[in-house]
């Protein structure tokens, strides 16, 4: 016997985690998503070239949270994958990214032998600043001006439409500087894995429960929550309130996928363009595990060009985080409005206006739904 019907808005990671946990706790759950598919931004599919392509850019799962991996691997098999990225310089040389010992040697045409030498070299070019106030000051104090202006300044401008001086330092801290030759993109995460049969298959398995009903191509209707015991809503919180306090800005991405037959073998799947060219990165999908599903001789390559979300059919990908915190303050005001709603919680990246990786969304959602279930048990 079910305990009542719950509405979940959004079939990405946040909504799917809530739906599965609620169904297993005995609730009937209806999941709606305005897109024509499940999986949110992690949606993937095999294209006409026989290559699995992530429609909204590469999703590489990595985490140190054992509990998240234990929960996720209940539903589908995963395979190991160590992500590596290269940046292309103006002279067309490829260098490791994040910056490591080899990157520094190639850029400065020197031969530093070890981590101690790199640390001393960076200390010599750093601009001392005991209290950095923004991304520029943090980077200058860590790696000096040349590396900052080569790998971060143009990229940040085109990715975020902001100068480094306007950005919160936490945005660039996501890319640590390596003092050794370790060229892994996520060197500090114990778990680096990919779903063996793709993310869409994983979502199908997570939503495969007799108490879960999924409807895609269905938008949220204002007031719909009144017909349900509770609503967990992953739509943009400012949109829900009709932008009455102003818009929370996002950066978006335009994806251009093309077919090639001349892809020479190489040891990385993603190339970043940190210079002034329009694109930010290029993904060779066939180099990800189990992504070359049928070898047709053709390869699918995707180029990414950042833009404002209003210039891309309101597709929201990255919340904008500035050094002065003005948008976080605005989100706080919307959060206060949401707190007054009797039977609705906002979840996920757009619902909480946070730049969250997949494991963080899953962890946040597991904590949130279990907290709600605990409160529901206490209330009963």
Q: How many domains does the chain have?
A: 3
User: Residue 301: which H helix or E strand, with range?
Assistant: strand 299-308
Question: Is residue 91 situated within a structural domain?
Answer: no
Place of tokens 């909204």: 56
**Which of 290, 319, 348 lies at the terminal end of a domain, its last residue?**
319
pLDDT 10s per residue in the chain (380 long)?
356 899 999 999 999 999 999 999 999 999 999 999 999 999 999 999 999 999 999 999 999 999 999 999 999 999 999 999 999 988 889 999 999 999 999 999 999 999 999 999 999 999 999 999 999 999 999 999 999 999 999 999 999 999 999 998 888 887 778 999 999 999 999 999 999 999 999 999 999 999 999 999 999 999 999 999 999 999 999 999 999 999 999 999 999 999 999 999 999 999 999 998 899 999 999 999 999 999 999 999 999 999 999 999 999 999 999 989 999 999 999 999 999 999 999 999 999 999 999 999 999 999 999 999 999 888 87
pTM metric for this prediction: 0.93
What is the three-class DSSP state of 306?
strand
Do 122 and 64 share a domain, yes or no? no
Question: Is residue 221 situated within a structural domain?
Answer: yes
User: What's the Cα-to-Cα distance from 36 to each of 40, 52, 66, 191, rounded to whole Å?
Assistant: 10, 18, 32, 31
Burial class (CB in 10 A: 0-12, 13-18, 19+), 199: buried
Do 225 and 314 share a domain, yes or no? no
Helical axes 153-160 vs 135-151, angle rounded to 10°: 110
What is the three-class DSSP state of 29?
strand
**Which of 271, 301, 319 lies at the terminal end of a domain, its last residue?**
319
Do 285 and 330 share a domain, yes or no? no
Q: What are phi and psi of 123, to 5 degrees?
A: -60, -30
Do 340 and 303 share a domain, yes or no? no
Closest CA to 95 of 222, 274, 221, 299: 274
Bridge partners (DSSP) listed for residue 283: 270, 302
Residues 135/141/145/151 CA torsion (nearest 10 deg): -50
User: What's the Cα-to-Cα distance from 133 to each of 64, 165, 167, rounded to whole Å?
Assistant: 29, 8, 9
Burial class (CB in 10 A: 0-12, 13-18, 19+), 54: buried
Question: Which residues constitute the domain of residue 257?
Answer: 41-84+184-198+250-319
Do 24 and 151 share a domain, yes or no? no
Do 192 and 279 share a domain, yes or no? yes
**Which of 276, 299, 319 lies at the terminal end of a domain, its last residue?**
319
């Amino acid at each position: 016997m079910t305990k009542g019907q719950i509405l979940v808005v959004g079939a990405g990671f946040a909504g799917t985690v809530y739906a599965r946990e609620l169904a297993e706790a005995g609730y009937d759950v209806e999941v709606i998503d305005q897109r024509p598919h499940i999986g949110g931004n992690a949606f993937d599919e095999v294209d006409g070239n026989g290559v699995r392509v992530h429609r909204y850019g590469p999703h590489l799962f990595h985490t140190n949270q054992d509990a998240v991996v234990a929960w996720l691997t209940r539903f589908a098999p995963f395979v190991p994958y160590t992500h590596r990225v290269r940046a292309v310089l103006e002279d067309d040389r490829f260098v490791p990214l994040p910056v490591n010992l080899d990157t520094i040697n190639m850029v400065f045409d020197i031969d530093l032998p070890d981590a101690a030498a790199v640390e001393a070299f960076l200390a010599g070019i750093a601009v001392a600043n005991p209290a950095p106030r923004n991304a520029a000051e943090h980077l200058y104090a860590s790696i000096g001006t040349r590396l900052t202006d080569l790998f971060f300044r143009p990229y940040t401008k085109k990715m975020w439409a902001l100068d480094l001086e306007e950005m919160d330092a936490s945005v660039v801290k996501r890319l640590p500087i390596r003092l050794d030759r370790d060229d892994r993109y996520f060197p500090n995460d114990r778990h680096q894995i990919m779903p063996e049969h793709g993310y869409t298959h994983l979502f199908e398995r997570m939503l495969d429960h007799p108490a879960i009903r999924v409807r895609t191509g269905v938008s949220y209707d204002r007031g719909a929550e009144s017909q349900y015991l509770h609503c967990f809503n992953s739509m943009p919180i400012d949109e829900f309130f009709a932008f009455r306090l102003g818009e929370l800005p996002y950066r978006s991405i335009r994806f251009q996928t093309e077919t090639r037959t001349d892809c020479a073998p190489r040891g990385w799947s993603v190339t970043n363009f940190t210079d002034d060219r329009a694109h930010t990165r290029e993904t060779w999908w066939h180099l990800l595990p189990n992504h070359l599903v049928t070898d047709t001789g053709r390869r699918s390559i995707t180029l990414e060009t950042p833009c404002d979300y209003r210039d891309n059919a309101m597709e929201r990908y990255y919340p904008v985080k500035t050094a002065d915190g003005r948008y976080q303050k605005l989100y706080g005001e919307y959060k206060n409005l949401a707190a007054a709603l009797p039977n609705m919680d906002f979840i996920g990246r757009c619902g909480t206006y946070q730049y969250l990786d997949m494991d963080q969304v899953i962890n946040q959602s597991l904590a949130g739904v279990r907290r709600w279930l605990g409160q529901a048990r206490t209330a009963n």
